[in-house]
């Protein structure tokens, strides 16, 4: 059984493992169908996707007419201007075969210039507010990557009362003292305002560098069950956060298996041992 917790102020009791549908970006419908059958079997009740994840929304679409009410459904727009963002939201609804998503998110809003555009007059924030007001979405979130994302999310929360944030979180990344401090402050603000915190890149081993990728993740992931157990359990040991699964359908069962057996957070000694054994490096510096 995957543990659950309230998804911020939304009223939804989400599984602490969120299915990251980026895994469907290049998948066939057959692979997507097999995966969704497992997602239902596991009881995962929350899906995260994006307009920019290749065919992910299209692959999810056939499952929505029958199963829409079983999932808290989130997508994202990468557009920064109001008009294109609103159009992209409408395309997402068509691709997902639904008339409403539960959460619409401003995707990877970290760059200073893009932030000013999206959050300013005529920006994408106006489009997601319009979508919420028209009933196309119920809640609004913001996502991002990189070492400045927690700080930028704090800035975003000063500007607008977002319902959810999404950002990287792993043991090796949190060893960066600046990121750790920013993440801690973001956690404090989110707890105070009851904002949901979604985390990504939890099973990152290292950047690909010059290596040839052998999975569909854009970072080198941990792949053996014992290592994934430690990494996933460390993330889940923070009771405030949710763990988004990696963008690889073959790794999904191992992440779910780890979550189903979660008991307590591994110690720093165990995690330091994992870092050494797997030659782990931060994805963002």
Q: What confidence tens digit (pLDDT) does each residue in 38-82 have?
A: 999 999 999 999 999 999 999 999 999 999 999 999 999 999 999
User: Domains of the chain (ranges plus CATH)?
Assistant: 11-201+237-263 (3.20.20.100)
pLDDT of residue 56: 98
Contact assessment for residue 21 and residue 62, using Cβ atoms and an 8 Å cutoff: no
**Per-residue model confidence (pLDDT) at position 254:** 98
What six digits make up the tokens of 217? 């993740």
Helices (H) and strands (E) in the chain, counts: 11, 12
Q: Give the distance, in angstroms, between the CA of residue 75 and the centroid of all CA atoms in the same chain.
A: 10
The 3-class SS string of 59-90 reads: HHHHHHHHHHHHCEEEEEECCCEHHHHHHHHH
How sure is the predictor about 210, in pLDDT bands with cuts at 50, 70 and 90? Answer: confident
Percentage of the chain lying above the pLDDT 70 cut: 100
pLDDT at 94: 98
Q: Are strands 204-206 and 196-200 parallel, antiparallel or unpaired?
A: unpaired
Residue 154 in tokens: 């704090």
Residue 164: closest CA among 189, 140, 188, 138: 140
pLDDT of residue 224: 98
Instruction: With cut-offs at 50, 70 and 90, classify the pLDDT of residue 212.
Output: confident
> Burial of 198 by CB count in 10 Å (0-12 exposed, 13-18 middle, 19+ buried)?
buried
Measure the CA–CA gap between 237 and 222, rounded to whole angstroms: 18
Measured between its terminal Cα atoms, the distance across the chain in Å is: 35
| Cβ atoms of residues 123 and 95 within 8 Å | no
154 by Cβ neighbours in 10 Å (0-12 / 13-18 / 19+) ranks as middle
In whole numbers, what is the pLDDT of the chain averaged over residues? 97
Closest CA to 167 of 185, 159, 158: 185
The 10s digit of each residue's pLDDT in 213-272 is 888 898 999 999 999 999 999 999 999 999 999 999 999 999 999 999 999 999 999 999
């Amino acid at each position: 059984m995957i543990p659950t917790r309230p998804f911020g102020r939304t009223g939804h009791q989400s599984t602490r493992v969120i299915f990251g549908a980026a895994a469907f970006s290049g998948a066939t419908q057959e692979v997507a169908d097999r995966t969704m059958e497992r997602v239902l079997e596991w009881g995962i009740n929350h899906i995260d996707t994006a307009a920019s994840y290749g065919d992910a929304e299209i692959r999810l679409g056939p499952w929505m007419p029958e199963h829409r009410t079983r999932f808290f459904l989130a997508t994202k727009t990468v557009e920064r201007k109001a008009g294109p963002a609103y159009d992209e939201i409408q395309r997402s609804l068509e691709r997902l075969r639904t008339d409403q998503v539960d959460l619409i998110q401003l995707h990877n809003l970290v760059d200073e210039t893009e932030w000013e555009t999206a959050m300013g007059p005529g920006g994408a924030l106006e489009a997601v507010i319009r979508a919420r007001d028209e009933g196309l979405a119920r809640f609004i979130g913001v996502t991002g990557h990189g070492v400045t994302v927690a700080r930028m999310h704090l800035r975003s929360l000063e500007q607008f009362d977002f319902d959810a944030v999404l950002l990287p979180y792993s043991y090796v990344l949190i060893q960066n003292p600046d990121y750790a401090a920013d993440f801690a402050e973001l956690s404090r603000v989110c707890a105070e305002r009851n904002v949901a915190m979604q985390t990504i890149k939890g099973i990152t081993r290292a950047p690909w560098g010059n290596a040839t990728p052998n999975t569909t993740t854009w970072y080198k992931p941990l792949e053996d069950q014992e290592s994934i157990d430690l990494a996933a359990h460390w993330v889940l040991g923070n009771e405030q956060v949710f763990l988004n699964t990696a963008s690889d359908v073959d790794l999904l069962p191992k992440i779910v298996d780890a979550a189903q057996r979660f008991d307590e957070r591994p110690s720093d000694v165990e995690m330091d041992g994992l870092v050494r054994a797997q030659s782990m490096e931060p994805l963002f510096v």
